């Protein structure tokens, strides 16, 4: 009997005119990443956050997730690229962003607010979460953004978990087409398998001088999931990295 290899070649020759290379897998390419501007995090991710994919930065308030997102946005706008910040909680602070090095002229800020129901409306107004998801969908479809931050940091955990998996899959496909880095901030991971990278952030300690002057904070970042990452033999716990943010980056109470 013919070997499996010979049989495969025979089938490919029979189908090559109708379906070129029907049984030949697509070549594997090097993953494109963009540096976050935080050396410790870039080393942890072997280059930075992926381009054309979803990255989730999770953790409670003051965990460093917003500071890390601002550092990434600052790095991309410094390269002359355009970014967007979809603010589901209307908590974005432009002054903190500017102090982090973000070029505000190159950032579109989408503010989601509660609206009182009008008498002429027969349908219920959209919630802030609905507004944020719709805005993210429109911006990804429009294209032209190198980075898009979807800030769900103030969204309750139970509400974030109700976002359909189909929505995240659509975002993943749109981000890939637009070559946009979609960064999702939340109390937990919501995108499930659609996320290429999931980082769990936590505050470690405050840095002071003389016990009275606040210099900044130290944070830890733990890699929970990273698709296409090299397999680390013998390592059970996800890699952890520590980085520091200056006090200028902490002008807002929520990080």
pLDDT, tens digit (0-9, with 9 covering 90-100), for 58-79: 999 888 899 999 999 999 999 9
* Domain contains 13: no
Q: pTM (2 decimals)? A: 0.77
> How many domains does the chain contain in total?
1
Q: How confident is the model at residue 6 (pLDDT cuts 50, 70, 90)?
A: confident
Q: In what order do the strands lie in the sheet with 107-111?
A: 107-111, 83-87, 147-151, 181-186, 54-58, 195-209, 213-226, 240-246
* Domain contains 134: yes
Predicted local distance difference test score (pLDDT) of residue 192 = 87
Predicted local distance difference test score (pLDDT) of residue 24 = 54
Spatial distance between the Cα atoms of 193 and 73, rounded to a whole number of angstroms? 24
Q: Which bin fits 73, alpha (ψ -120 to 50), beta or left (φ > 0)?
A: alpha
Spatial distance between the Cα atoms of 100 and 6, rounded to a whole number of angstroms? 60
Q: How confident is the model at residue 251 (pLDDT cuts 50, 70, 90)?
A: very low
> 218 near 232, Cβ under 8 Å?
no
What pLDDT, in 10s, does the model give residues 166-223? 999 999 999 999 999 999 999 999 998 999 999 999 877 766 666 666 566 677 888 8
User: Is the dihedral angle over the CA atoms 155, 201, 139, 50 positive or is it negative?
Assistant: negative
Spatial distance between the Cα atoms of 86 and 227, rounded to a whole number of angstroms? 25
> 241 near 220, Cβ under 8 Å?
yes
Tokens of 142: 């429009």
Q: How confident is the model at residue 249 (pLDDT cuts 50, 70, 90)?
A: very low
Q: Which domain holds residue 136?
A: 32-250
* Domain contains 201: yes
Spatial distance between the Cα atoms of 76 and 34, rounded to a whole number of angstroms? 8
CATH number at residue 49: 3.40.50.300
Spatial distance between the Cα atoms of 204 and 96, rounded to a whole number of angstroms? 21
Predicted local distance difference test score (pLDDT) of residue 57 = 96
* Domain contains 4: no
* Domain contains 10: no
Closest CA to 169 of 49, 53, 50, 34: 53
* Domain contains 25: no
* Domain contains 19: no
Tokens 């460093």, residue located: 64
Is the pLDDT at 96 greater than 70? The verdict is: yes
Q: What backbone torsions phi and psi does residue 194 show, to the nearest 5 degrees? A: -75, -15
Q: How confident is the model at residue 240 (pLDDT cuts 50, 70, 90)?
A: confident
Q: How confident is the model at residue 103 (pLDDT cuts 50, 70, 90)?
A: very high
């Amino acid at each position: 009997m013919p070997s499996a290899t010979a049989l495969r070649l025979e089938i490919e020759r029979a189908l090559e005119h109708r379906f070129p290379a029907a049984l030949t897998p697509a070549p594997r390419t090097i993953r494109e990443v963009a540096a976050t501007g935080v050396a410790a995090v870039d080393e942890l991710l072997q280059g930075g956050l992926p381009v054309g994919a979803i990255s989730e930065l999770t953790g409670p308030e003051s965990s460093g997730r917003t500071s890390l997102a601002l550092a990434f946005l600052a790095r991309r706008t410094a390269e002359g690229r355009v970014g967007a910040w979809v603010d589901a909680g209307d908590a974005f602070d432009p002054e903190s962003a500017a102090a982090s090095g973000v070029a505000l002229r190159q950032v579109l800020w989408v503010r989601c607010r509660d609206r009182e129901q009008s008498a002429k409306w027969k349908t219920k107004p959209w919630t802030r979460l609905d507004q944020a998801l719709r805005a993210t969908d429109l911006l990804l479809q429009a294209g032209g953004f190198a980075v898009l931050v979807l800030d769900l940091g103030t969204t309750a955990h139970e509400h974030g978990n109700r976002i359909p998996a189909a929505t995240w899959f659509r975002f993943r496909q749109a981000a890939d087409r637009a070559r946009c880095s979609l960064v999702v901030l939340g109390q937990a991971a919501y995108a499930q398998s659609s996320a290429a990278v999931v980082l769990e952030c936590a505050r470690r300690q405050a840095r002071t001088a003389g016990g009275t002057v606040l210099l900044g904070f130290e944070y830890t970042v733990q890699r929970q999931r990273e698709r296409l990452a090299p397999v680390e033999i013998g390592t059970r716990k996800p890699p952890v990295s520590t980085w520091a943010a200056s006090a200028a980056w902490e002008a807002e109470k929520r990080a």
